[in-house]
Structure 1
Amino acid sequence: MGEGTPVGPHGYSADKQALLSRLRRVEGQIRGLQRMVDEDTYCIDVLTQISAATKALQAVAVGLLEDHLRHCVVRAAAEGDADPKIKEASAAIARLVRS
């Protein structure tokens, strides 16, 4: 974990099993990609599957970000110190946009 990263229940904790399930599906997609390359599948078909896996992972990231805003940022705002959490969320959004 990064320095200063809080440990404990996070916004996604309530939906942890659903999140893990989605990540396992992405993991399966990646294994499928490895198999496609191993089997010399046509490059455009591999690229299509890479796009699908990327979109699935981005959907997970957006869901985590939404949970972060809904729980962590709201909690910090209620405690009167939302600025660090807002900056943290903005940096995460910037990383997602660049990826």
Structure 2
Amino acid sequence: MTGDTESIALVLNRLRRAQGQLAGVIAMIESGRDCKDVVTQLAAVSKALDRAGFKIVATGLRECITGAETGEKMSEAELEKLFLALA
């Protein structure tokens, strides 16, 4: 992924936060925590990953459309598939 330094830093922060939350979920399961607490924390991990994915797409959309990163433009079908992967 390329893009401006600030956007990349935001994505990395979100992914690190999700990584910490996931470690927390694993620890909760290992310690036998209540199902409701585990699912709530797991939902937070999922949301953090979704937000990171959307930020990556938003940041890289121009590159995807113009082919600036790879030299190849993405087709409309490829862009649609990329968005649907996050849906």
Q: Please name the residue that 1:46 is paired with.
A: 38
In the TM superposition, residue 18 of structure 1 has moved relative to its aligned partner by 2.3
Alpha-carbon separation, structure 2, partners of 1:22 and 1:95: 18
TM-score, normalised by the number of residues in structure 2: 0.78
Percent identical: 29
**Counterparts in 2 of 1:50-69, with a 5 A limit?**
50-69=42-61
Q: Which runs of 5+ in 2 are unaligned?
A: none
Checking the alignment, whether the CA contact within 8 Å between 1:36 and 1:46 is kept in structure 2 is yes
Q: What RMSD in Å do the two structures reach over aligned CA positions?
A: 2.0
The count of corresponding residues between Structure 1 and Structure 2 is 82
Aligned pair partner of 1:70 in 62, 84, 87:
62
Q: Please say which structure displays the higher CA radius of gyration.
A: 1
Checking the alignment, whether the CA contact within 8 Å between 1:26 and 1:57 is kept in structure 2 is yes
**Counterparts in 2 of 1:15-30, with a 5 A limit?**
15-30=7-22
**Which stretches of structure 1, 4 residues or longer, exceed 6 Å deviation after superposition?**
none
In the TM superposition, residue 95 of structure 1 has moved relative to its aligned partner by 1.5
Q: Which runs of 5+ in 1 are unaligned?
A: 1-8
Alpha-carbon separation, structure 2, partners of 1:17 and 1:93: 22
Q: Deviations over 1:37-59 (max 9, x none)?
A: 11110001100111111011000
SS of the counterpart of 1:40? coil
One-letter identity of the residue aligned with 1:96: L
